[in-house]
Structure 1
Amino acid sequence: MSTTSKRDDERAARLARIRAEQSRTTRRRTWLVGGIVGVLVLALISATAFVLVGEARRASQLEAQAAAEIEGVETFGEMSFDHVETQVDYPQTPPVGGEHNAAWQNCGIYTDPVVNEHAVHSLEHGAVWITHDPELPADEVAALHALAEGESYVLVSPFPGLPSPVVATAWGFQLQTDSADDDRLPVFVRKYLLNPELPEAGALCSNGVGTPA
């Protein structure tokens, strides 16, 4: 064999070894990346499943709590559903029902007080009205606003002169609490939102008056 042929053979063998090593390195990298991705995917799936299971468990607990009586809720007797154009002198603060304006308050979050007669009409449509002391700390106000997120029939607004820092109201029902962190608030919302016993439950809580924040 000539010297040239021997060098060519050695070069070819060396190239073959390099390509083989590159191939093994690529496979190792692919397996490593694939393993990492697999672990991440499994972790993501596990985390998502954990969150979903947790949310389902909390929703189930909330449903069970809402099915029972809520401690501290006051119940009020039959009240008029009539529409009026005048201001109404309501016996409760905030009002829990009775005569009201023909225009309802658009549900959502308000940073200023709303008109009672409009809010009561929203209650007739099945809304839950959460009122709070205008001086309530910002973090507690934010917690109340969170109760309205994703809900088309929750109304949140400040209300001067409340009998307690936070009051949740549905037509004929009311709960007074000392804090926005009271565990009964989300239960109250779940229990009385869109109360099917109301004659106008499910009627619009939009296209009325007011512009939510």
Structure 2
Amino acid sequence: MSPQKQSGNPARQAHIEQTVKQQREAKRQEKLAEYQRQLKKRQRGKLLWWVLGGVAVLAVAAIVIASIVFAPKTYTAGSEGAEIEGVQTFELESDHVEGVVEYEQTPPAGGPHNSAWLSCGIYDQPQQNENAVHALEHGAVWITYDPEQITGGDLDALRALAPRTYALVSPYPGMDTPIAVSAWEHQLKVDSVDDPRIAQFIEEYWQGGTAPELGASCTGIEGPGKL
């Protein structure tokens, strides 16, 4: 800083000293204002990161909850002879045939079928009966639903009830019930995805029951709309 100028006039000297003090105060106030601006900027940055962090935590929590709620269930393969109210039982042939088959049940729960079986999995389009029935012969369960009645969250929940393997899920227009669960020679029809008998039926007949070719591959032809 340049040395302060001196004046022989006392009044002039006082004015000079006052001017210097004002300049110093102005600079001090400027520095203080800049510090406050920087402080507020850092506080806003911290707040933003807290908000983003909170959103990220909530998003992760939502994913975890969804993975628990909609995760495929675990089932024990094989039948234990449980009696489930409403299950219908049939005696059906297992011949391989060509062309379209007129089945007695809608959807079918077994019977003559095509030599090619449908790959197990979740489909968002209707599937060919004759190929799906062959998958039932291998011990799969087939979860079908009326696409006009089962949608949105109910559909997600229904799909989540399917085992990871040896299961088919597909829409089936024209059923006389919102949901039908079929295994070889056995079938259960229910009105709601919340019906506990769906899981009970799968536990009883998945990779069990009377399926003629239990354990045979469930990887075959893929129908339209596989997810």
State the TM-score bracket (shorter-chain normalisation): 0.5 to 0.7
Matching residue of 1:206: 219
**1:185 correspondence with 2:198:** yes
Kept after mapping to 2: 8 A contact 1:88/1:99: yes
Matching residue of 2:86: 72
By how many angstroms is 1:68 displaced? 2.2
Q: Which has the larger radius of gyration?
A: 2
Residue 117 of structure 1 aligns to a residue whose secondary structure is: helix
**1:119 correspondence with 2:153:** no
TM-score by length of 1: 0.66
Question: For this pair of structures, how many residues does the alignment match?
Answer: 153
**1:174 correspondence with 2:187:** yes
Task: Supply the RMSD in Å over aligned alpha carbons.
Answer: 2.5
TM-score by length of 2: 0.62
Instruction: Give the whole-Å Cα distance in 1 for the aligned partners of 2:208 and 2:135.
Output: 12
Say if 1:168 and 1:66 are closer, same or farther in 2 by CA, change over 3 A.
Answer: farther
Say if 1:184 and 1:196 are closer, same or farther in 2 by CA, change over 3 A.
Answer: closer
Q: Could you tell me which runs of 5 or more consecutive residues in structure 2 were left unpaired when the two chains were aligned.
A: 1-67
Say if 1:209 and 1:85 are closer, same or farther in 2 by CA, change over 3 A.
Answer: farther
Report Cα offsets for 1:134-157 as digits up to 9, x if no partner. 111211111111022x52111000
Query: Alignment identity in percent?
Result: 50
Instruction: Give the whole-Å Cα distance in 2 for the aligned partners of 1:189 and 1:111.
Output: 20
Runs (4+) of structure 1 moved beyond 2 Å? 65-68, 196-199, 207-212
Q: Could you tell me which runs of 5 or more consecutive residues in structure 1 were left unpaired when the two chains were aligned.
A: 1-50, 52-57
By how many angstroms is 1:198 displaced? 2.5
Instruction: Give the whole-Å Cα distance in 2 for the aligned partners of 1:140 and 1:168.
Output: 15
Instruction: Give the whole-Å Cα distance in 2 for the aligned partners of 1:59 and 1:205.
Output: 18
Matching residue of 2:158: 144
Q: Which has the higher helix share?
A: 1
Kept after mapping to 2: 8 A contact 1:66/1:188: no
Instruction: Give the whole-Å Cα distance in 2 for the aligned partners of 1:139 and 1:160.
Output: 19
